[in-house]
Amino acid sequence: MASKSWLNFLTFLCGSAIGFFLCSQLFSILLGEQVDTQPNMLHNDPHARHLDDNEPSHLKGQVNFNADSSQHKDENTDIAEKLYQRVKILCWVMTSPQNLEKKAKHVKATWAQRCNKVLFMSSEENQDFPTVGLKTKEGREQLYWKTIKAFQYVHDHYLEDADWFMKADDDTYVILDNLRWLLSKYNPEQPIYFGRRFKPYVKQGYMSGGAGYVLSKEALRRFVDAFKTEKCTHSSSIEDLALGRCMEIINVEAGDSRDTTGKETFHPFVPEHHLIKGYLPKTFWYWNYNYYPPVEGPGCCSDIAVSFHYVDSTTMYELEYLVYHLRPYGYLYRYQPALPEDILKEINQANKNEDSKVKLGNP
Amino acid sequence: MLSESSSFLKGVMLGSIFCALITMLGHIRIGHGNRTHQHEHHHLQAPNKEDILKISEAERMELSKSFRVYCIILVKPKDVSLWAAVKETWTKHCDKAEFFSSENVKVFESINVDTNEMWLMMRKAYKYAFDKYKDQYNWFFLARPTTFAVIENLKYFLLKKDPSQPFYLGHTIKSGDLEYVSVDGGIVLSIESMKRLNHLLSVPEKCPEQGGMIWKISEDKQLAVCLKYAGVFAENAEDADRKDVFNTKSVGLFIKEAMSNHPNQVVEGCCSDMAVTFNGLTPNQMHVMMYGVYRLRAFGHIFNDALVFLPPNGSEND
């Protein structure tokens, strides 16, 4: 008799447990309760997009386009990713041992990761940063030597790894996505180079060193070859001018880097200096140097600007925030630059069922 | 067998009743908890991504037009250069923006409130705005000319918030018992809050023109005290990652702090992608922000947004 009531009691308990469980499940479905996750951005960043110094391999291959995922969940980077694969850019950054911590570090933490390959060029090798040692001295006088040697190094080790070869300073901020848009219309086998075009001294003009310039594969081949065959020599220490002269000698075309509305994309100064009317005095050399009619105020700068120069460390991060983070929700930008034809086709094929208007609506 | 199954069934019934009771009680307790929670920390969040994906194209346009934001900018003659910058930049994106000045200034159109005192200026501006525009706008945004605002992000933040509810939001600060919205980050009031405020403005015991007997209380605190009487409480506006969207500092200042506090995650730890305001900008910085926000961007990064905002007419810097 006792065992029977024990059994009864046990089944009763089982029943109540099952009843409780079923009921709680029912209630949770009905009330749609959600687990509250409270991510703390500062402590929990598993998707760290900034390199640890001992991970140089990250620089080589893929870029994680949505690295800090929670801020970019509704972002579609298909086009940017396609261009990353199609328009391979090797960036080399002119720096020096004393500037690694002050300047080059911030370049590395921001735009450098978006190059298909990035190299930091210095007079001395530094295995930790890492930098390539060009075995020159430092200083303004050495700039052209460093440039020649840097391009030689890139040519000898990485010629087949990229289509375009960009030189920048450690105080230049470069927007790689916009550079790829610009270059997507050209063939890397063409002898051509792009940058902020200046008019004096060289008939076809030459590109400002600080604003950065980018050579096609063929242009790089010809440049390196020119020193071997002495078509070009280390004629001066004014790096950008000397390079521009050499380009003209070897028939590398000075390209027009302006956008389809005629606005400049490479900038020798920070946005403020170009956007504010009267900031640069009319007597300043700049007004006489620009190849195309120079503009101050909103017309100075393309929406899809490629570079700015004399960018200090704070401004590097500010630009990074303004370009890749802060945006006006839902805003229909006035300037809608067109996609290169073939890439457009590829994407439309892939997204036949999706609303392609939505894709192209807010580039 | 029979007695076992009956005791089993009794068990099931008892279990379910017990569970139902607990759920009900828990809910009531949570309800109370929320209310007291709201008295301590009010945190309002931006809308969820999932909600957004269900909206159609036509609905997007309609929805976008349903937000009518009226901007009040309180200025004084000494603010002229900021005033000019603000007029030429972000205020063009308000549905309507008006400048309320302590006195008339040549060349600059404004509504003269005839007083130098910030709290009095604020009162007069709110009264004017409510009397004239209560039927035309559903959200009222007040700022100083040192502030840069992205009105599109304000509208996104207000998505799913009913203006007939008493909203009072921005960057909140706690001062003793009082939680108030800092005027430096910008103050957002729904039409319902405006209604209640304007009713109280004529009740001197609740909403005196001269707050604080011994020393002056700042105008943003006075506003909070006044609104509290009307049952309107300050709420801190945050994005999905709990970052403030209304900021009392400039981007530059945030970056500098981030560079010393967390140098490995400067931009990630800085500011919200959907920030609405920054403060402490110079006139030049306003123009740079205008370019940086409304024009400069990376090609090939596309967003599927629930709202559509067209650029304003007759403007070339956005």
Q: What residues in A contact B252, CB-CB < 8 Å?
A: 314, 318
Question: Which of A223-227, B37-41, B63-67, B240-244 is least confident?
Answer: B37-41
Quick one: which of A190, A180, A181 has its CA closest to A247? A190
Look-up of token digits 């019934």: B13
Torsion angle of the four alpha carbons A243, A247, A250, A253, in this order, in degrees rounded to the nearest 10: 170
A221 touches chain B (CB under 8 A): no
CA distance A307 to A298: 16
Average pLDDT over residues B3-21: 80
Q: How many whole angstroms separate alpha carbon B42 and alpha carbon B169?
A: 9
Pick the residue of B3, B52, B295 with the most A CBs within 10 A to test the interface with A by mutation.
B295
B305·A14 Cβ contact <8 A: no
Which amino acid is located at B272 in the chain? Answer: S
Q: Work out the minimum CA distance from A183 to partner chain B, whole angstroms.
A: 12
Residues of A whose CB is below 8 A from B259: 313-314, 317
Cβ-based neighbour number of residue A316 at 10 Å: 26
pLDDT reading at B314 higher than 80 = yes
pLDDT reading at A5 higher than 60: yes
Q: How far apart are CA B161 and CA B46, in angstroms?
A: 9
Rounded mean pLDDT of A240-250?
Answer: 96
At A47-74, the pLDDT tens digits run 333 333 333 333 333 566 655 555 566 7
Q: What pLDDT score does A349 carry?
A: 79
The per-residue pLDDT for B39 is 41
Q: What average pLDDT does the segment A258-281 reach?
A: 97
| Chain B contact probe: residue of A331, A344, A346 with most B CBs at under 10 A | A331
Distance of alpha carbon B249 from alpha carbon B152, whole angstroms: 20
pLDDT tops 60 at residue B37: no
Tokens 């301590």, located at residue: B40
> By CA distance, what is A108's nearest residue in B?
B264
B186-233 residue pLDDT tens: 999 999 999 999 999 988 888 888 766 667 789 999 999 999 999 999
**Are A275 and B288 a contacting pair at CB < 8 A?**
yes
Q: Which candidate, A54, A106, A176, places its Cα nearest to that of B297?
A: A176
Long-range contacts of B286-289, Cβ-Cβ distance < 8 Å, separation of 24 or more:
B286/B82, B286/B85, B286/B86, B286/B88, B286/B89, B286/B90, B286/B148, B287/A272, B287/A275, B287/A276, B287/B85, B287/B88, B287/B89, B287/B317, B288/A271, B288/A272, B288/A275, B289/A322, B289/B89, B289/B90, B289/B148, B289/B251
pLDDT in tens, B150-186: 999 999 999 989 999 999 999 999 999 999 999 999 9
Question: Within a 10 A sphere around the Cβ of A226, how many other Cβ atoms?
Answer: 18
Tell me the C-alpha distance between A237 and A239, whole Å.
Answer: 6
Report H helices in A208-266: 217-228, 239-249
Distance from CA of B133 to the nearest CA of A (A): 26
Per DSSP, B105 falls in state B
Closest-CA residue to A299 (of A322, A326, A275): A275
Name the residue among B3, B49, B297 with its Cβ closest to that of A327: B297
Neighbours of B195 (CB within 10 A): 17
Contact B62/B132 with Cβ under 8 angstroms? no
Complex ipTM, two decimals?
0.84
- pLDDT given at position A39: 32
A269 CA to chain B: closest CA distance, Å?
13
Distances B114 to A256, B3, B105, B117, B121 between C-alpha atoms, Å: 56, 88, 12, 9, 8
A318 touching chain B per CB within 8 A = yes
Distance CA B146, CA A357 (A): 38
Q: Which residue is it, tokens 């599109």?
A: B152
Instruction: State phi, psi for A358 to the nearest 5 degrees.
Output: -65, -40
- Coil, helix or strand at residue B35: helix
Count of CB pairs separated by less than 8 Å, A with B: 270
- Percent of chain A surpassing pLDDT 70: 83
Q: Which residues of B touch A363 (CB under 8 A)?
A: 297, 299-302
CB contact under 8 A, B255 and A317: yes
Could you tell me how many residues make up chain B?
Answer: 318
Q: How confident is the model at residue B59 (pLDDT cuts 50, 70, 90)?
A: confident
Which chain A residues are Cβ-neighbours of B318 within 8 angstroms? 334
Contact A71 B284 (CB under 8 A): no
Candidates A38, A182, A327, partner chain B, best to mutate (most B CBs within 10 A):
A327
Nearest CA in chain B to A181: B299
Min Cα distance B222 → chain A (Å) is: 32
Express each pLDDT in A113-127 by its tens digit.
999 999 999 999 999
Kindly state the helix (H) or strand (E) to which residue A192 belongs, with its residue range.
Answer: strand A192-195
CB B224 within 8 A of CB B181: yes
Q: What does the block give as tokens for A280?
A: 């640069």
Q: Hey, are the CB atoms on A48 and B265 less than 8 Å from each other?
A: yes
**Confidence at residue A66, expressed as pLDDT on a 0 to 100 scale:** 56
B residues 35-54 closer than 8 Å to A (CB): 49, 52
Contact assignment for B12 to A19 by CB distance below 8 Å: yes
pTM summary value: 0.82
Work out the minimum CA distance from B181 to partner chain A, whole angstroms.
Answer: 23
Tally Cβ neighbours within 10 Å of residue A112. 21
Using a CB-CB distance cutoff of 8 angstroms, which residues of chain B are in contact with residue A15? 7-15
Best residue in A87, A103, A323, A329 for a mutation probing chain B (most B CBs within 10 Å): A329
Query: B16 and A23 in contact by Cβ < 8 A?
Result: yes
A194, amino acid identity: F
